[in-house]
Structure 1
C-alpha cells in the first residue's frame, strides 16, 4: 500500500549537520498532518492510515483501520503519554513504550520525527546528505537512517526511516500548518 517506486538521484554529502538551504519551508511547532504508515521488521508488519495534530503543549496521533475505525489514539501532554485502544487505556512517561507493541519496534524520537516530516534534519543529526537541488536526501540520526524518497512542493511526500531490521515508511497525504 505504501510502497512507491523510488527514483535515483545523485547526492552530495554535507558534513555540517546544521546546514540549511533556501528550499526548506519554515519549521512549524503546530501542524496537522494526515497520511499512511507502514511499520515492519523481521517479525511483523503493521499498516494503517493516521492523522497527527501537533502543538507544543499537546500532540495527538490517531491510527485508523482501512474502514476508518479508530485503532488507537496516542496523546502526549506535558510529560505523560496516553494510549487509548479498544482494549483500554495505558499511560507512560515515554510514548515509544506505548507504540512499540503496535509497531513491533521502538519508534524514532518524536523531536526528530517532527522535524523530518517537515523536511528538516532534526536535532543533532550525525550526517546529512542532500540532492543536487539542496533538498534533504538522507539523514543519519542516533542509528536511524532517514531517506527522503519523494517531495511534493517543498515538503516531504514519502520518507523511509530505518534502523537495523526496523523500517517505518510514511506517506504524507495532507499537511496543514496551523498558526
Structure 2
C-alpha cells in the first residue's frame, strides 16, 4: 500500500536536458496559472523509512479543475495501481482490490497512511511553475530564476523546461528536497518529469 500511495501523493508531480552555463537563459515567466490542467509524467522518490533507504518509480496522470484534483498512479509496467481524488472537503485513495481510504485533506491522508506528510498541498502550484516562498511572497519560476525554498520547507529546483526559449516556458523537470533550518534533509527527495502535451 505504501508504494502506490507515495507515488500517488507526489504525483506531480518531473530527466530533461541540462542547460550549458554559458548559454543565454530566458527570463520569460511561465504561463499564467490555470485552475484546470491535465498533465502526465514520471516520478522518482528516494526516502528513508525505519533507517533504510527506499526508492520508488512510476508514472502519473494529473487532472485538475478549480475545485478537484484526480491523480492516477501507474506502475512501471503500465498498470494503474491507485487513484487519488481530492475535493475541497476530502481526499480519497483507491487501490486495486482494497477498501478506499478517506481523510479531510491529502496531507492528513498521507500522514495517516504513511506516518509523515508529503508535500502534496503545493503540487497544484509547483507543477505549473508557481510556489509560495519562505517569505510568503508568490514565486514564479523562469529559466533564469529556477529555484525557491517554500513556506512549508521544501526546496524546488526547476531543472529543465519543455522549451526554454519559448515565450512562456513550461516546466519539464522539478527536483524537490526537504529543507530544515536551511539544510537539506536526506529522508526524502523527489524528481518529477512532466511529459510534453500532445498538440
The alignment's TM-score, normalised by the length of structure 1, stands at 0.76
Count of aligned residue pairs for this structure pair: 161
Q: Relative to 1, partners in 2 of residues 1:66 and 1:104: Cα closer, same or farther, differing over 3 Å?
A: farther
Q: Which of 81, 90, 93 is the matching residue for 2:101?
A: 90
Deviation (angstroms), 1:65: 1.1
Partner in structure 1 of residue 4 of structure 2: none
Partner in structure 2 of residue 18 of structure 1: none
Secondary structure of the 2:32 match is: coil
Deviation (angstroms), 1:99: 3.9
Higher strand share: 1
Q: Relative to 1, partners in 2 of residues 1:67 and 1:48: Cα closer, same or farther, differing over 3 Å?
A: same
On the 8 A contact 2:16/2:172 being kept in 1, the answer is no
Structure 1's unaligned 5+ residue stretches are 11-20
Partners of 2:73 and 2:112 in 1: how far apart?
14
Partner in structure 1 of residue 166 of structure 2: none
Deviation (angstroms), 1:137: 1.3
Structure 2's unaligned 5+ residue stretches are 1-13, 164-168, 179-184
User: 2:170 aligned with 1:155, yes or no?
Assistant: yes
User: 2:34 aligned with 1:28, yes or no?
Assistant: yes
Q: Relative to 1, partners in 2 of residues 1:65 and 1:117: Cα closer, same or farther, differing over 3 Å?
A: same
Partner in structure 2 of residue 14 of structure 1: none
On the 8 A contact 1:52/1:59 being kept in 2, the answer is yes
Q: Relative to 1, partners in 2 of residues 1:67 and 1:57: Cα closer, same or farther, differing over 3 Å?
A: same
Matches within 5 A, 1:29-178: 29-43=35-49, 44-86=54-96, 87-99=98-110, 106-110=117-121, 112-120=122-130, 122-126=131-135, 134=144, 136-141=145-150, 142-153=152-163, 154-163=169-178, 164-165=185-186, 166-175=188-197
Partners of 2:157 and 2:146 in 1: how far apart?
6
The alignment's TM-score, normalised by the length of structure 2, stands at 0.69
Partners of 2:141 and 2:66 in 1: how far apart?
28
Deviation (angstroms), 1:103: 7.7
